Amino acid sequence: MDDRLKNLKKAMDRTAFSSTKFTEQHKENIQRQLNADELKKVILSLLFEAKSGIEITQLLHVRGIQDVINNEGMIYSILHEQESNGFLFANWEEGVKRYELTKTGKKQLQQDGHVKLTLKERLLGVRMHAE
């Protein structure tokens, strides 16, 4: 079976992938998409209690997440996308928009295995520490 797979790879290289060129721009775009997915997970894990976009940005900066430095708009794009998907709800308090996970968002995080909650956290509905 090993030889068949090697032969298939060789055939694919000669036919399907022979004209495909991955430029540095392609590689950067793919990397950005992968980083955006990871950033979504981190942002959502911060929202077991309501936070403003500024608070989220500060927490990400403190954690040293490089993708958001000089690109805070990415955070708001993710927040709005997740709000549209029903994972977050937002409300205005004293002129500040605050975001928090919905029940659906909490379930999704737990199902995906991105966030493991302790019993205390599940009872309180609050994320007590960051992973």
Query: Residue 16: inside a domain, yes or no?
Result: no
| CATH of residue 95 | 1.10.10.10
Q: Residue 76 is part of which domain span?
A: 22-124
Query: Residue 8: inside a domain, yes or no?
Result: no
Query: Residue 89: inside a domain, yes or no?
Result: yes
Query: Residue 46: inside a domain, yes or no?
Result: yes
- Residues 3-42 have pLDDT tens digits of 777 787 777 677 765 666 667 776 666 666 556 677 888 8
Q: Domain total for the chain?
A: 1
The answer to whether the predicted template modeling score (pTM) of the entire model surpasses 0.75 is no
Query: Residue 12: inside a domain, yes or no?
Result: no
Q: What is the pLDDT of residue 42?
A: 85
Query: Residue 17: inside a domain, yes or no?
Result: no
Average pLDDT over residues 55-84: 83
Query: Residue 131: inside a domain, yes or no?
Result: no
Query: Residue 107: inside a domain, yes or no?
Result: yes
| β-bridge partners, 97 | 92
